[in-house]
Amino acid sequence: MGRQQCKWYVQRLLEIIGDERILLQCDGYESLLNAIETEDSDGHIHELISAADCTDLCSVPDCEVGVYIKREVNKSFEDAFNASPTDYVDGKVTAKELRANYTKWVADAVAKLYSEKSI
């Protein structure tokens, strides 16, 4: 996600949670972590961070495969978010839909990976 998307996401998340405190799993998104730091002055969001070079899709020797897949999935998410950001921010895209989209995006990324002659 881009810097502005992250800021918008964090602001909307803070509106939704009100005075609650939450644990947010972050997958090494520096922009998101920076947005949390600048927007969440009261400390309502606590981050659980996965390393950016870590993935469940591959083993350590195949880290370039995981990086490739993550990059493609991130592009797919950004395209979907940019096409209708308010749907994501306002919760019109449900968690179920998002999980289905991520599954499709991973499958698309793997298919693209298999078509690459350089890998």
Per-residue burial over 63-96, b if 16 or more Cβ lie within 10 Å, else e, is eebbebbbebbeebbeebbeeeeeebbeeebeee
Please indicate, yes or no, whether the overall pTM of this predicted structure exceeds 0.85. Answer: no
**What is the spatial distance between Cα 59 and Cα 82, in angstroms, rounded to a whole number?**
32
Contacts (Cβ under 8 Å, ≥6 apart) of 77: 1, 101, 102, 105
Distance CA 103, CA 108 (A): 9
pLDDT tens digits, residue range 61-119? 455 777 788 889 999 999 999 999 999 888 898 888 988 898 899 899 988 988 887 66
Query: Would you state the pLDDT for residue 118?
Result: 67
Q: What is the pLDDT of residues 25-54, one digit of tens each?
A: 666 567 878 888 899 988 888 876 665 555
DSSP letters, 108-119, are HHHHHHHH-S--
